[in-house]
Every structure is written in structure tokens, then in C-alpha cells.
Amino acid sequence: SIVKLVGFHPFKTAVAALNNANAISEGLLPDDLSSFLDTTLPKSAKKKPVTLGVADAKLGAAIAEALSVQCSHIGAVPEVLRGIRQHFASMVKGFSDQSAAVAQLGLGHSYSRCKVKFNVHRSDNMIIQSIALLDQLDKDVNTFSMRIREWYSYHFPELVKIVPDNYMFAKVAHFIKDRKSLSDESLAGLEEITMDAEKAQAVLDAAKMSMGMDISVVDLMNIEMFALRVIKLSDYRQQLSGYLHSKMNSVAPNLAALIGDQVGARLISKAGSLTNLAKFPASTVQILGAEKALFRALKTKSNTPKYGLLFNSSFIGRANAKNKGRISRFLANKCTIASRIDCFTETPSTVFGEALKSQVEERLKFYEQGETPRKNLEVMKEAMELAKQSAVEESSKKKKKRKLEETNGNATEMNGTGEQSAKKRKKSKLNDTNGGDEDAAADANESTLNGSTLLDSSSAQMDVSNGEGKKKKKKKNKNREAEIEA
């Protein structure tokens, strides 16, 4: 056997394994690995030098720097490591290929989850996806608009010349449906869509004299559904451009202020992230997006391209043919400055982007009219003063907001205590009224009781008086009878 096992140090927990994997991926030497190498590696001598074989070059550099051990990752080392990996289960007792596969799967899942969760370029990824979707939507909307033009032109061919805009054509086609149904009453709706009274009247006149063929109800329904889909896609495209604008203002405000949202987003997408774009030199940013033309020019020994994605900015279109290369080089230089400010600043603002944009404008005037532009040092000093003033204003605004929130919180607390005291007062009043009512009820009960006793006594007196009256009547009747007998 070529390989002999000298030492083996397993990870105690899955968290320790994950921490070691993260450190190795970043090119750092973990503490567990350094202590294991200190105890296991033999000391090197002049006669017997020790070379440590590693799979990763960054890890080898970290070990050599920390422990002063010679490391190698080339030659026979990869083959030896492959053989150890294949026969490692036979070297360690109680270790099988199945348990190793389960442990590797769990560690891989936790490592990828950690990388996704703590990704520095989260907002950059949103910009990259949104600009890619925006480009795809532009292509799809153009294709669908051409399809709806061809399809609806069978029924109303004159509408293409009257309404050349794709989005407006889809809206008008969805509104008209059957051209024979158009009348003077539908003129107001056409004016609302086309934003032009003459164009709406022209559509109405052309519908009356159209040479298009008649179309069935089913075909009209399909055309209407397709036109509605094109309208919704166009509306979503506008919403997506607004979302991209807000994202660029929060992630790279200076770059967006310098060359616009879409060109800046395309640069970030081509570079992979804002950090990568900030690391690029100005010469790379200048030809970013024109790699095929560059390698073709190097292969054929012809002129290299002067610009790539920067050609879509308005500055290069405004420059003369001789000055396009100069402006693209100058603009690439300012784009690198803006991307580095956006990447490494703590308080993002558009101050530096606007200052760099004014420099590009001055350089354009210099090439066209000969006006000498300001120096870069002066412009940057002014921008730094403006940035300090804006930072002070923002801090004062934040303090005012905090004070307002605190005062509002105190007011709400006071209102809460006032409401509680008012509630207590209401409760006490209710108790008092309830107590008075109870007293009145008791008095009423007593009065009723007294009334009943009075009634009883009066009734008794009435009964007694009635009895005495009856006795007197009987005596009078007897006296009368005695007198009659006599």
C-alpha cells in the first residue's frame, strides 16, 4: 500500500463541519485544521523536507503562511487524494460509504443554504433578473405586436397607417373589434385611446370605406383576447421598468444618475455583480458587451471595438463620429468611479453621479465648441461638500422624525391614561347612579311595602266601619218593625 493512515480527526458536530467548510471556501485556515496539523505533521528537516499535499491552492497558501509548511497541489497530489477518497472507508474502522454519502449530502445542503442566505449580492441579483426580463419582454411585445397587426389587417387594413404605434394599435383593435359596429357614438372612446381628435375621426372614416374582408365572431374573439394579452404585457413592462428604476436608485444611484437605469443595469448584469463591476478597470468597462468583436479583431489583426454596452447611452449618440471613441473612453472612466462609490459607500446618494454627468457634458462641449472643462479635483471637492451637506440634512431629518415619533408616542400614552381615567370616572358615575337607583328602588320597595300596610289598615278600617254601619241599620230596622206592630 502506498498510503498509510497516521491521524484522523472527525468533526464533532455538523455546525463545526459547516464552519470549517465556509472558512476553507474563503481561503482561511480553520482552527481545528491548524491544531490537527500541528500535532500530526512531522517536523521538517534539511535532510528530510516535508511537503503537504492539498486539493485547494488557496488553502495551501493559508497553511504555508500560518504554519510555514511547504504545500503542493499539482503533480501526483490530485491522484493520491483521489485514491484516498475512494478507499477511505477501508482505512477507518466504523466508517462506510453510505454514512459518508449521507454526511456529504447534509453538509452540501447546509453549505449551499448558508451561501444563499448570506449572499452579499442579493439586490444585484434582483437587478440582473429584472433587466433580463425587461429585454425579453421587449422582444416578445414587438413580436406579438407584429402578429396582431398582420392578423387584424385582414379585417381593417387601413388602421396600420393611421395608428403606427404598436401599443396604441392593440388598444384600438381591442376597442373596435368589428369595424362595422363603429359609429359616431364610439368617437369619444377612440379620442381617449389615441389622444387625438383628428386621428380618431380618420379611423372612423376609414372604417366606413374599408376594403378589408368580413370576419367571423370566433375569429374576432381570438383577436380580441390576443390584443388584450399584448396590452397587459405592455403595461407589465412599464411596471417592471419602474421597479428597475427604484432598485437602481437604492443599489447604484450614482451609476444610474450617470448613464441611466437600463444601461447601468446591463453593465451590472454583464459583470455579474456590482462588486465585480467596481473591480474592473475602465478599459474593460469600455468594451464590456463587445467581446466577440474584440476577439475577432485580435484574430484578424484589425481595429478593436471602441465601445460595447456604453453605446446605448445618450452621450455617445450625441458625439461626432471622430469623437465617439474619446467620449466612450471618458465615459467608461467615470462609470468605474461611480460603480466604486456605489459599491463601497455607506450612505448612497446621487451627488457624485450628477457631478460625473456634468463632467461628461462639459467634455462634450469641449469637443464640439472648444470650451475648457473644469478639473476633476474641483468637481470632486464640490461633490464631497454637497455630499456632506446632504448627509447633515438627512441626519437632521431623522432626528426630527424620531422626536415626532417620541412626541406622538407620549401623546398616545397620555391619551391612553386620559382615556383610562375617563373610563374610571364613567364607571364611578355609573356606580353612583346605580347606587342611587338601588336606594330609590329600596325606598320604592319600602314605600310599596308601607303602601300595602296602609292599604291593609285602610281596608281593615273600611271593613270595621262597614260592620258598624250594618249594625246601626239592623237596629233602625228593628225599631221600625216595633213601631209598626204597636
Q: In a 3-state reduction of DSSP, which class is residue 70?
A: strand
- Say which residue, 453 or 125, is predicted with more confidence: 125
Q: Is pLDDT at 34 greater than 70 in this prediction?
A: yes
The average pLDDT across 145-170 equals 94
pLDDT at 348: 83
- Do residues 176 and 182 touch, judged by C-beta distance below 8 A? yes
| pLDDT confidence of residue 420 | 56
Look at residue 455 and tell me whether its pLDDT is greater than 60.
Answer: no
Domain 125-241 fold is Helix Hairpins (1.10.287)
Band of pLDDT at residue 145, cut at 50, 70 and 90: very high
**Residue 354 grid cell:** 450628477
- What does the pLDDT read at residue 110? 87
pLDDT level of residue 146 (50, 70, 90 thresholds): very high
What is the full DSSP assignment across 305-354? PS-SGGGGSHHHHHS-TTTHHHHHHHHHHHHHHHHHHHHH-SS--SHHHH
Exposure on the CB side of residue 397, measured as CA atoms within 13 A: 6
- Mean pLDDT, residues 421-440 taken together: 52
- The pLDDT assigned to 462 comes to 40
Judged against a pLDDT cut of 90, whether residue 399 lies above it is answered with no
Whether 464 shows a pLDDT value over 50: the answer reads no
Mean pLDDT of the region 428-441? 49
Can you tell me the mean pLDDT for 229-246?
Answer: 95
The H or E element containing residue 51 is strand 51-53
Every domain range in the chain assigned CATH 1.10.246.90: 252-394
- Is 446 a residue whose pLDDT tops 50? no
Residue whose C-alpha cell is 467608461: 332
Residue 171 has pLDDT above 80, yes or no: yes
pLDDT above 70 coverage of the chain, percent: 82
Half-sphere exposure for 223 (CA within 13 Å, toward CB) = 27
The CATH code of domain 252-394 reads 1.10.246.90
The predicted pLDDT at position 471 comes to 45
**What pLDDT, on a 0 to 100 scale, did the predictor assign at position 94?**
80
- Contact (Cβ atoms closer than 8 angstroms) between residue 54 and residue 73: yes
pLDDT given for residue 24 in this prediction = 87
Question: What's the pLDDT score for residue 419?
Answer: 54
- Determine the pLDDT at residue 482: 55
Residue 129: per-residue pLDDT = 94
pLDDT tens digits, residue range 310-364?
999 999 999 998 899 999 999 999 999 999 999 988 888 899 999 999 999 999 9
Average pLDDT across the chain, whole number: 83
Average pLDDT over residues 98-121: 80
Task: State pLDDT tens for residues 240-297.
Answer: 999 999 999 999 999 999 999 999 999 999 999 999 999 999 999 999 999 999 999 9
Residue 272, φ and ψ in degrees, nearest 5: 105, -35
Helix (H, G, I), strand (E, B) or coil at 72: strand
Separation between Cα atoms, residue 460 and residue 466, nearest integer Å: 10
Average pLDDT over residues 80-85: 88
| Backbone φ and ψ of 53, nearest 5° | -90, 130
Confidence class for position 445, pLDDT limits 50, 70, 90? very low
Q: Which residues contact 67 (CB under 8 A, 6 or more apart)?
A: 34, 37, 38, 41
229: pLDDT strictly greater than 70? yes
Q: Is the pLDDT of residue 456 over 50?
A: no
pLDDT of residue 448: 40
0.75 cut: is pTM over it?
no
The string of pLDDT tens digits covering residues 300-309 is: 999 999 999 9
CATH 1.10.287.4070 in the chain, residues? Answer: 125-241
Q: Assign 141 a pLDDT band (cuts: 50, 70, 90).
A: very high
Give the total residue count for the chain. 486
Q: pLDDT tens digit string along 377-398?
A: 899 999 999 888 888 887 788 7
